[in-house]
Amino acid sequence: MDMVFDLIIKGAKIVDGTGNPWFKRDIGIIQGKIKILGEPMVEAKEIINAEGMTVSPGFVDLHNHNDLSVLAYPNLESHLMQGITTSVTGNCGLSMAPINPRNLDLLRTYLAAFLKPDIDYGWDWQSVKDYFQKVEKHGISMNLVPLVGQGTIRLAVKGFDSNAPSPEEMLKMKTLLRQSLEEGCFGMSSGLFYPPGSYCSTEELIELASVLKQYGAIYTIHLRNESNKLIESVEEAIRIAEENDIPLQISHHKAAGRVNWGKVNGSLKLMTEARQRGVEVNCDVYPYIAGSTMINSLLPTWVLEGGTAKMLQRLQDKGERNKIEGEIAGGTMHGENWIKSIGWNNIIIGGCPANSKYEGKSLEQIFREKGSSKTPCQVFFDWLLEISGEAIMILFGMDEDDVKTVISSPLSSIITDAWATSPGGGGKPHPRAYGTFPRAIRKYVREEKLFTLEEAIRKMTSLPAMKVGLQDRGIIRDGFWADLLVFDADKISDNASFAEPHQYPKGISYIIVNGQVVAKNGKLTGVQTGRVLIH
């Protein structure tokens, strides 16, 4: 049989994504798909000589926040260059669709800190389908796997209203969820830490998630509490999945705040026990001891009832300020109290659209420079008003031993939890946006020998692909889509640090998406073969 391949990768060790030991074969690519080759001499339009290199499936990032990034950076450079070829979007309850035009401003102002001032996002879509079309219009470099956000659905129906939904509102939410799944979403995410997810009872979530079963769709969750109530929050997540018999993914698993370190042993045990009862639960983890999110998450979530404008109003009211301060400083705050659990000095500003001079500084440092005689909370409220409540923060709250515990569990996938940027993107974003996957290989495979390269690659490819429901990606196998990386297993490393985050990793020579080379030696080729995948 004479077959002319579009591309052949010759001589590399293949780490196929299953966790099996590497093997040596040539890989042929034809019409975007993989064919593992038996005979050494076959024809190809292009040959990559990969002697001494490793080939793996492209990384499947099960958890990130690229929903707005992909409109500002269609090539998602900081994610692509670390080897991600498929990005699961719409996490933590916040997807960019469906939108109810009446509540659009609530979503837009809530997410303002993620918006790049020089980009016109248009905001001209409503359904998930409209949004996909918008995203694909300008061409993309990697594949996107969309989830629909439970918070976004609730926002469309009820705004930032903390009351339980009426029967009619529940019906509306279910209809929006069904429509989004029919338009191609792979599952529903929720973020019970963020409003409006934080306003929902377990019963409300169980009822809405009941829609997922008939679509074979996954449920992902940013737990209600990842610190003092970690265990109870994992129990809640498992209950939602178990009552509905649906697959569950516990997002960015961690124990935040020194007093909670070590609790991941108990939470992983709960997951293992649930699996023994037949609940398909997994988790994911990023290889850093710091997280990153919006600054307004430091406030009790009732402060955001009604939206960002209401929050700013409350911050101008003396009585409300004292009430908020009482809850934060007194430790009576409902939900997660980061200020109390990690302190002002462990909260660093990563992005501040109103004034970039704050970027890279801790809140403690910012307040000290203000030289005010007020209490730290009051200075904080003044500062929030100054910046219109819009900033991204980086929170140093985890223990490296916990990261190792979770990342070594066979149940965990490795994720970025980041929003992609590019070297010109500004700010001091969390380095995970550039370094996550190469870092996990450098640190946990090469340096600390926590697990093998094959196991690391499994956690980055076949495990997340299987979990979200991709049946033809994440493994190097005949007939699977050719999303592939060619890298040097001895050299692949992250370069991004908290001080200098805008650094591409090193050691990756080729990034192939749907059979074509989209990046070569850290440079885009200009080919955009990514697409929005449909469930």
List residues binding Zn ion (CB under 5 A): 92, 222
Tokens of residue 11, six digits: 């001589």
Cβ proximity to Zn ion, 222 vs 224, nearer residue: 222
- CB-wise, 417 or 483, nearer to Zn ion? 417
Based on CB atoms, which residue is closest to Zn ion, 431 or 515?
431
- DSSP tag of 46: -
CB of 35 vs Zn ion, minimal distance in Å: 39
Count Cα neighbours of 413 within 13 Å in the Cβ-side half-sphere: 30
Distance CA 389, CA 24 (A): 54
Closer residue to Zn ion (CB): 249 or 308: 249
Pick the closest to residue 57 from 75, 78, 36 (CA basis): 36
Least distance between Zn ion and beta carbon 192 (Å): 10
Pairing of strands 392-396, 347-351: antiparallel
Q: State the nearest-atom distance from the C-beta of 94 to Zn ion, in Å.
A: 9
| Three-state secondary-structure class, residue 292 | strand
Q: Give the tokens for residue 334.
A: 């409902």
SS3 assignment, position 248: strand
Taking the complex as a whole, the smallest distance from the CB of residue 519 to Zn ion amounts, in Å, to 27
Strand, helix or coil for residue 179: helix
CB atoms within 10 A of CB 243: 16
Q: Which of 64, 76, 60 is nearest to 460 (CA)?
A: 60
Instruction: Catalogue the E-assigned strands of 361-441.
Output: 392-396, 412-414
208, 196, 206: which is closest to 239 by C-alpha?
206
Could you say which DSSP state residue 498 is in?
S
| Residue 77: its H or E element | helix 77-80
Rounded least distance, CB 92 to Zn ion, Å: 4
> With respect to Zn ion, which residue has the nearer C-beta, 92 or 470?
92
Q: Which is nearer to Zn ion, 254 or 314 (CB)?
A: 254
- Least distance between Zn ion and beta carbon 57 (Å): 25
Shortest distance, CB of residue 445 to Zn ion, whole angstroms? 26
DSSP letters, 344-377, are GGGEEEEE-TT-GGGTT-BHHHHHHHHT-SS-HH
238 vs 482 by CB, closer to Zn ion: 238
Query: Looking at beta carbons only, is 222 or 263 nearer to Zn ion?
Result: 222
CB 54 within 8 A of CB 22: yes
In whole angstroms, the minimum distance from the beta carbon of 251 to Zn ion comes to 5
